[in-house]
Amino acid sequence: MTPNGCLIFEDESFLDSTVAKMNALRKSGQFCDVRLLVCGHEMMAHKAVLACCSPYLFELFNADSELQVGISLVKFDDLNPDAVEVLLNFAYTAQFVLLKADKDLVQDVYTAAKKLKLERVKQICGEYLLTKMDSQSAISYRNFASSMADARLLCKVDSYIQNHLQEISEQDDFLKLPRLKLEVMLEDNLNLPGNGKLYSKVISWVQRSLWKNGEPLEQLMEEVQTLYYSADHKLHDGSLLEGQSEVCSYEDDHIQFVQKKPPRERDEMSTGSVSSSSCQFNKHEWKYIASEKTSNNSYLCLAILRGVLCVISLHGRTSPHSSPSTTPCTLKIPNFEAQPEEVPEKLLKPMHYDRSGLGTAELDGKLIAAGGYNREECLRTVECYDPKNDCWTFIAPMRTPRARFQMAVLMGELYVMGGSNGHSDELSCGEMYSSKADEWIQVPELRTNRCNAGVCTLKNKLFVVGGSDPCGQKGLKNCDSFDPVTKLWMSCGPLNIRRHQAAVCELNGYVYVIGGAESWNCLNSVERYNPENNTWSLVAHMNVARRGAGVAVFEGKLVVVGGFDGSHALRCVEVYDPAKNEWRMLGSMTSARSNAGLAVLNGVLCAVGGFDGNEFLNTMEVYDSEKNEWSPFLGSLS
């Protein structure tokens, strides 16, 4: 008996006993109200238990009224019954035991967990598979991770392949992969470029060849293809050696798509536009994974070509009369560290979580990435990227899960305001991160709940601009400022145009609000706030209307990347020169990124995370202003 007269009793054994009894009832079929028919095998269960455990089944039971009464029947024709039984035990007992944890069964449990949206089980299975991976199984593991569209697992498998390609290339699975053989003619005294740039050029050549000829990839692999690498660092079709006209030149090292119509495509393409067939072409994955130097001027590469895992064998030679080389065997190169030009370029380490609608900022020479969506949930976690070690580590998580917010540094501390927690549309709460204490501290709430608002700092105050209305359908004109000394919010002059998902940034004593959407119509208009007269005025429009873009100050100008134009996630980038009041286009990113983060890290512009139109991203890429190129490779950040 407690002092206030309440009786409190806890039985620690009750929960374990009840769980065991519920599972026993399931196995005996008592009080069950759902039948799972898995490839002809019948399993009984209780809908309430399955709905609590599996978001997939919860949605299924809610969507179909017939499944809400009586004994329901749910069929699965593509799952392993043994794997489903493992997951049923997990649903009732919060544990599963695989006495014979062979690779195939673990993969089947992973597949079933993905279907039922049991994310934690899926993650545990993926981590177990990684512990069992070796050079013999790496290719099959990659194929499995690709079929499951698991970006995190793929990233870790690719990292293993990059470090063990020489051993992997000797295995049967590798030798059975489709192979593209290339002979590259070199002008005298010319060497092939570094591996990453070389294969970006090769992949771009494959893309253009498929578009030009309208032929399947398999036809390119039927015989050795001859290419020509000229002194101006362009890759040409081998027909140039015979005095024919140039097929295509490569101004950029990064991959891009040409807008030409293959002869076999039905859809017509107008000049300067891309047809629906080209959009379909773009959906296929193109990716450089790893490469090894095999002998002098010979390389072996593993890459994704139009969604197919392939091997590229490449040999460079100066004499056009020598015969093509056979596929070389990989060799260990002595003193490899002493030959930096031959070392395969390493991809920048990805974040631990896919994140879209995240907050990013530079703090103490490191890149901070906080919150965001990863398709399954809204995140509290915060990651910190150290460019010196090329690694992501976790710092203290936020107090509240949130996405669709922006983050700013004010007086050496991080501030986040508003956003969405994944359950309600808007938040009013805010937090401040102290790096010294490694903790988040609550700050006074916004006067209105806001999602998709822009945040920046100006004259030691925090500005929150625009955002979504309480229904999430219209943009706001509201602009508020927060004084960290007085802890008070003050209203500022309203915007001229309602905006949500706008990019907001400070430059030269002004606050800029860029693009966004009014209702759901994407905007290319830009406004500038003058704190002296508390008013917003319109400046030059962007070239592309976009919402959910990233923005940062780089070399004294505003750079805006990616976003969404109402139909597609964008790769394109543009820069605003305040002295000329004009926008111009820059080199496009290697990935389309909507709701990505953008920050300047040690003088380098970094884009991280976002949504590419199909997948949530955990990758990062950086901008080289001298080359006007974006790159996902580590060397570009050093």
Nearest-angstrom CA–CA distance, 412 and 435? 9
β-partners of residue 601 are 604
pLDDT over threshold 50, residue 114: yes
Q: Looking up tokens 């495509």, which residue turns up? A: 265
More confident residue, 310 or 330: 310
502 vs 469, which has greater pLDDT? 502
Residue 255 has pLDDT above 60, yes or no: no
Segment 600-604 shows an average pLDDT of: 94
Rounded distance between C-alpha atoms, residue 26 and residue 19, angstroms: 11
What are the φ and ψ backbone dihedral angles of 78, each rounded to 5 degrees? Answer: -125, 15
Q: What percentage of residues in the chain have a pLDDT greater than 90?
A: 50
Q: Max CA-CA distance within the chain?
A: 99
What are 63-109's pLDDT values in tens digits?
765 655 667 889 999 999 999 999 998 988 888 777 666 788 899 99
pLDDT in the model for residue 99: 61
- Reported as a pLDDT band with limits 50, 70 and 90, residue 478 is very high
- Confidence band for 232, pLDDT divided at 50, 70 and 90: low
Cα separation, 471 vs 590, whole angstroms: 35
Q: Which of 80-94, 110-124, 326-340 has the lowest mean pLDDT?
A: 326-340
Could you report the per-residue pLDDT of 44-55, keeping only the tens digit for each?
999 889 989 999
Q: Which residue has the tokens 């981590």?
A: 127
Integer Cα distance of 500 and 575 in angstroms: 21
What are the tokens at 272? 């300067």
- Residues 533-556 pLDDT 10s: 999 999 999 999 999 999 999 999
Query: Taking residues 463-479, what's their average pLDDT?
Result: 83
Q: Is the dihedral of CA 511, 515, 516, 521 positive or negative?
A: positive
- Of 275 and 373, more confident: 373
Strand-by-strand arrangement of the 366-370 sheet: 359-363, 366-370, 382-386, 391-395
Domain boundaries, the chain: 12-132, 177-319, 359-556
pLDDT at 368 over 70: yes
Token duo for residue 425: 């549309």
- Is the pLDDT reported for residue 211 higher than 80? no
- Whether domain 359-556 has CATH 2.120.10.80: the reply is yes
| Strands 454-458 and 439-443, bridge-based pairing | unpaired
Determine contact, residues 366/355, Cβ cutoff 8 Å: no
**Which of 86-100, 419-433, 613-627 has the largest mean confidence?**
613-627
Contact predicate 380/422, CB 8 Å? no
Q: What is the tens place of the pLDDT at every residue in 493-533? A: 999 999 999 999 999 999 999 999 997 789 999 999 999 99
The pLDDT assigned to 624 comes to 93
User: Per mean pLDDT, which range of 40-44, 327-331, 385-389 is the poorest?
Assistant: 327-331
Instruction: Quote the pLDDT of residue 448.
Output: 85
pLDDT mean over 294-313? 84
Mean pLDDT estimate for the chain: 82
Count of alpha carbons within 13 angstroms of residue 34, beta-carbon side = 19
Looking at per-residue pLDDT, the higher value among 327 and 18 belongs to 18
Tell me what pLDDT residue 259 has: 30
For residues 213-242, average pLDDT? 72
Classified by CATH at the fold level, domain 12-132 comes out as Potassium Channel Kv1.1; Chain A (3.30.710)
